[in-house]
Amino acid sequence: MNRPLQLSAIFFLFIGIVVSCTKVDIAAVNNTMNAVVDPFAATRAAFGTNIDFTNLSNYANQTKPNYINNDNTGTDTIKDNKATLGRILFYDKNLSVNNTVACASCHKQAFAFSDTSLVSDGVFGGVTARHAMRLINARFANEAKFFWNERAASLEIQTTMPIQDHAEMGFSGVNGRGTIDTLLNKLSKINYYKEIFKNIYGDTLVTQNRLQESLAQFIRSIQSFDSKYDSGRARVNNEGAAFPNFTATENAGKSLYLTPPVFDGSGNRIAGGAGCNGCHRAPEFDIDPNSKNNGIVSIIGSTTIETNDTRAPSLRDLVKTDGTPNSRMMHTGQFTTFAGVLNHYNNIPNIAANNNLDGKLRADGVGNKLRLTPTETAQLTAFIQTLAGTNVYVDKKWSNPFLNQ
């Protein structure tokens, strides 16, 4: 081949290579431009299929019995996406200063969102000042205040107070520890929160108000209405009627629970029932907001007298269906059985030192004494067991969503 022909061949070969490479590059660019960016990549990495913002669990439209009337939701209406964010926050140990404690550390699903320990562990060896309260049916409590001593005016306010407690989750601003603003800055740098806040709120701003509303919505979504009691209540017209699915012992216990007691001048019950309904009103079994102290005036690990503990959780799921207690009872956790609780009301102690004792527990300067018989104690215990559900312990929408936490 002569030289001009060689040069021509080389030239066309070069042009072919350039064109070929250009086509490949253009195709690669087009593929990159057309690739779908996953807006929840970090969320999927942290939670897998446990959290799916394209197919959210039902928090907002759960059914409840038509005889349940109380609802303290207010304007913070439950929405599936915000309750899902609340679920993540509830289980996220990043909410503590040393990444060791979450809300769920003290409120465990396996125990109706309570704790079997007397006190719950906090950060750096700290412990809670009171026994952890069960969170069942918090939405349906007539009492809008929270904590045993009602120091939180609403559930929203309550949700971030343990976070700012020095012993619990540690963002107290004391002894060199960060404040709630430190936490907000910390969360804003976590990729899955960037994605989730952007999806829900349209931006990635993490605020205390957003934490409060989402945590409160998740907690309010935790409900339990699948008990033997609910099955029976649905079949009668009123609370006092005998439930057809109850045993004679359970119906007797229900009657004792609902019927007010009659006391003599010395405070001894001489007729009537136990009057539990006066403070823990059916069918929600939440505490009457007007109830005062119940005679428990001690503080865990202290000799100080405290009479302002007047809040209590619903009596629903106090025990499991087999009668096993989900946790200790009272803010002091001093009772491990329901029979122990009833024995306390058999003889209200130390009335002189308690200027906040509920009027239903005192008469003419003496503490009232229920004087329950062993049979009555067994009947009341059997009735309380009918308030136990099953779904609350196993429903995935209330479970830990993290893959590695």
Range among 146-155, 300-309, 343-352 with highest mean pLDDT value: 146-155
185 and 323 both lie in a single domain: no
Any idea what the CATH number is for the domain that residue 327 is in? 1.10.760.10
Q: How far apart are CA 358 and CA 206, in angstroms?
A: 42
Given a cut of 80, whether residue 324 has pLDDT beyond it is yes
Residues in the chain: 405
- Give residues with Cβ within 8 angstroms of 8, minimum separation 6: none
Residues 244 and 158 grouped into a single domain? no
- Are 200 and 305 members of one domain? no
- Do 168 and 233 belong together in one domain? no
- Residue 261 belongs to a domain: yes
Q: Determine the Cα–Cα distance for residues 343 and 104; give it in Å rounded to an integer.
A: 31
Q: Look at residue 38 and tell me if it is in a domain.
A: no
Contacts of 239 (CB under 8 A, 6+ apart): 233, 258, 282, 283
Rounded distance between C-alpha atoms, residue 47 and residue 197, angstroms: 16
At residue 237 the predicted structure's pLDDT band, cuts being 50, 70 and 90, is: very high
Host domain of residue 198:
43-224+392-398
The pLDDT of residue 71 is 95
**In the predicted structure, residue 109 carries a pLDDT above the cut 80:** yes
Could you tell me what percent of the chain has a pLDDT over 90?
Answer: 84
Tokens at residue 303, please? Answer: 């000799």
Q: List the structure tokens of 233.
A: 């209540």
* CA distance linking residue 130 with residue 132, whole number of Å: 6
Confidence at residue 26, expressed as pLDDT on a 0 to 100 scale? 54
Inter-residue contact 295 to 357 (CB < 8 Å)? yes
20 plus 159 within the same structural domain: no
Residue 265 has pLDDT above 70, yes or no: yes
**Pick from 34-38, 353-357, 364-368: least confident:** 34-38
Q: Which two tokens stand for residue 259?
A: 């019927």
Q: How much is the pLDDT for 6?
A: 52
Cα 317 to Cα 325: distance, rounded to the nearest angstrom? 8
Q: Confidence class of residue 2 from pLDDT cuts 50, 70 and 90?
A: low
Q: For the segment 303-319, what is each residue's pLDDT rounded down to a tens digit?
A: 888 999 999 999 999 99
User: How far apart (Å, rounded) are the C-alpha atoms in residues 151 and 147?
Assistant: 6
Asked if the model's pLDDT at residue 346 lies above 90, the reply is: yes
Which whole number is the average pLDDT over 359-368?
86
User: Count of domains in the chain?
Assistant: 3
Residue 53 lies in a domain: yes
362 and 260 fall within a common domain: yes
Average confidence score pLDDT of the chain: 92
> In the predicted model, what is the mean pLDDT of residues 181-205?
98
One domain, residues 219 and 247: no
pLDDT (0 to 100) of residue 28: 53
Q: Does residue 37 lie within any of the structural domains?
A: no
CA 210-216-222 angle, to 5 degrees, is 145
Q: What is the pLDDT of residues 66-90, one digit of tens each?
A: 999 999 999 999 999 999 999 999 9
**63 found inside a domain:** yes
76 and 220, same domain (yes or no)? yes
**Residues 63 and 186 both lie in one domain:** yes
Q: Characterise 52 by phi-psi region: left (phi > 0), alpha (psi -120 to 50), beta (else).
A: beta
Residue 262, pLDDT above cutoff 50: yes
Contacts with 258 (C-beta within 8 Å, 6 or more apart), sequence order: 239, 240, 273, 276, 277, 282
pLDDT on residue 14: 46
Asked if pLDDT for residue 3 goes beyond 90, the answer is no
Across 29-33, 139-143, 200-204, least confident range = 29-33
Q: How far apart are CA 147 and CA 168, in angstroms?
A: 14
Which of 401, 392, 394 is CA-nearest to residue 223?
392
> Do 156 and 269 have their domain in common?
no
Confidence tier at 5 by pLDDT (50, 70, 90) = very low
Pair 366, 263 in one domain: yes
Q: Mean of the pLDDT values across residues 156-170?
A: 98
The answer to whether residue 403 is domain-embedded is: no
Q: Is 222 left (phi over 0), alpha (psi -120 to 50) or beta?
A: beta
Q: For the whole model, what pTM was predicted?
A: 0.90
* Same domain (yes/no): 253, 372: yes
**H or E element, residue 251:** helix 248-258
As a dihedral over the C-alpha atoms of residue 77, residue 82, residue 84, residue 87, rounded to 10 degrees, the angle is: -80
Give the per-residue pLDDT at 7.
44
For residue range 17-73, what is the model confidence (pLDDT) as tens digits? 444 544 445 555 455 444 578 999 999 999 999 999 999 999 999 999 999 999 999
User: Does a structural domain hold residue 12?
Assistant: yes
Give the residues across from 366 on adjacent strands: 363
Q: Biggest alpha carbon distance in the chain?
A: 132
Residue 267 lies in a domain: yes
Backbone angles phi, psi at 390, to 5 degrees: -130, -35
pLDDT value at residue 18: 44
Q: What is the pLDDT of residue 351?
A: 80
Give the separation between CA 231 and CA 250, rounded to whole angstroms. Answer: 13
Burial class of 340 by CB neighbour count within 10 A (0 to 12, 13 to 18, 19+): middle
Q: 35: Cβ–Cβ under 8 A, 6 or more apart, which residues? A: none
